[in-house]
Amino acid sequence: MEATITLRLPRDAASVPVIRQLLDAALRALGVEPQVREDILLMLSEACSNVIQHAIPSDDYMVSTELFSDRCVIKVIDTGEGFDFSGTRAPSPTSEHGRGLLIMRALADDIRFTSRPERGSVVCLEKNLRFVQDAPGLSLLLDEEHVRHDGVDRSLPGDARREQEHARAR
């Protein structure tokens, strides 16, 4: 199974809770662990907030979310002027703004930025999914018995999964 949610939203702060609630409902229904859901929703909020604040002259933006196997992939796409992500600097310790990119980088398992000058930007955020015991997502999204071709059980909690990955690498 693969679940996809795609919305074109107005570049308005009121749009952020809408996509957050839709995605949270899908993640909750599949049985994604609460901490993983919270990380995903915070990354999504930061990416959408950046579009709302900076994607001038765009009137709207698009959020596309794909849930498949053990991954959540979020793409936030705007049609603004584009943004040079390589030139971003860390905010000063006393700054009240400018931490969105740092937060997204800290929470995402993979993050990619694409700037399309005069056509907008794309932020792609990926997060590994972990599920509560007996979650519907275990049977709906994951391969046979939760194990992918590398032999790692993706349904295990993070520490146990990492131990299994390290053991396989040895």
pLDDT means per 10 residues, the chain with 170 residues, are: 92 96 97 98 95 84 94 93 64 64 93 85 95 92 55 54 55
What is the per-residue pLDDT for 164? 59
In the predicted model, what is the mean pLDDT of the chain?
83
What is the per-residue pLDDT for 84? 61
List of residues 6+ apart from 37 with CB closer than 8 A: 24, 27, 28
What is the per-residue pLDDT for 35? 98
List of residues 6+ apart from 4 with CB closer than 8 A: 64, 65, 66, 67
Running DSSP on this structure, what letter comes out for residue 135? -
What is the per-residue pLDDT for 145? 46
Query: What are the start-end ranges of the H helices in 55-134?
Result: 100-107
